[in-house]
Amino acid sequence: MANMTLFDLVEPEVTHKVPKHWHSFPPPHPLWHPVLGTLYVIIGLFALFGNGVVLWVFCCTRSLRSGTNLLVINLAFSDLCMVISQFPILVCNCFSQAWVIGPFVCELYGFCGALFGTMSIINLAVIAYDRYRAILSPFGGTQLSMRRAGLWLLLIWVYSGGWCALPFFGWNQYVLEGLLTSCTFDYLSMDTWSRSYVVVLFLASYAVPLVVVCYAYFGIVSSVSRHDRNLKSHERAQGENVRYQNLQRRESQLNRFVFTSVLAFMIASTPYAG
């Protein structure tokens, strides 16, 4: 037992799915797996309830059926699919203290995690771009139609699915990771072929969406601030202090919203991208 490694706990049918990096690690403390499993159950149930409620509200409320809200529905749907495809398998493996469902499910699990994670990130970037277009249009009338929103959703699914399916065609692969109870793409192999996929996926599914989100939200702040400065000058000239103070308050609230949105995007996406 003293010389046992994490690799020794792996089922024989999935040993080829364990990168050499993990072969020499000792097993975790016996309590670690059930603690993690319990934590995943709690998080999974909250996520199921939260995203389920969002979908139910949008689907049952006719007035909320708009192009922009269709993007929000897709975001909730991808998050719900992430939970459904990941947490039952992860919880099962945690309480079994090893991956026990075979190599095919490992690949499917890794693909679903990558797909729905990438979809959520890209979806957030599209929502930011949609808000940017709507707010910066000088004439209005730029509300996202259901048809155009449907095209955006198709692009999000195809773009995300395309990148995440590449390991099935030989560019990288889905393997076990960490405590060997979950699977993801191989980010540890040092050969150029595998590393190139990791770099390209990082750029396509994280760096580019982050640039879009930052550009869109800070563009909104810049536009609204410029508009408010003109209004402030007018209000101060007219001596309307109350409206002037309201404009200042709105600008402050908008800045906090943008900062929070970008920070939330980075907190949610950076661990996945890393």
The CATH number for 26-205, chosen from 3.65.10.10, 1.20.1070.10, 3.90.180.10, 3.40.50.2300, is: 1.20.1070.10
Residue 51, token pair as written in the block: 């995203």
pLDDT string in tens for the chain (274-residue length): 457 888 888 899 999 999 999 988 999 888 999 999 999 999 999 999 999 998 999 888 888 788 888 998 999 999 999 999 999 999 999 999 999 999 999 999 999 999 999 998 999 899 888 888 877 765 555 678 889 999 999 999 999 999 999 999 999 999 999 899 999 999 999 999 999 999 999 999 999 998 998 898 888 777 777 665 665 555 555 555 555 455 455 555 555 655 676 676 667 666 555 5
Domain boundaries, the chain: 26-205
Instruction: Report the sign of the C-alpha dihedral through residues 186, 192, 193, 197, in that order.
Output: positive
Q: Are the CB atoms for 174 and 187 separated by under 8 Å?
A: no
Per-residue DSSP letter, 174: E
89 vs 101: CA distance, rounded Å: 8
Full-model pTM: 0.85
Report pLDDT for 60.
85
Q: Are the CB atoms for 173 and 18 separated by under 8 Å?
A: no
The CA-based angle 189-24-92, given to 5 degrees, is 85
E strand segments, 126-190: 174-177, 182-185
First vs last C-alpha separation in the chain: 33
Report pLDDT for 247.
47
Phi-psi group of 191: left, alpha or beta (phi > 0 → left; psi -120 to 50 → alpha; rest → beta): beta
Residue 11, token pair as written in the block: 């089922």
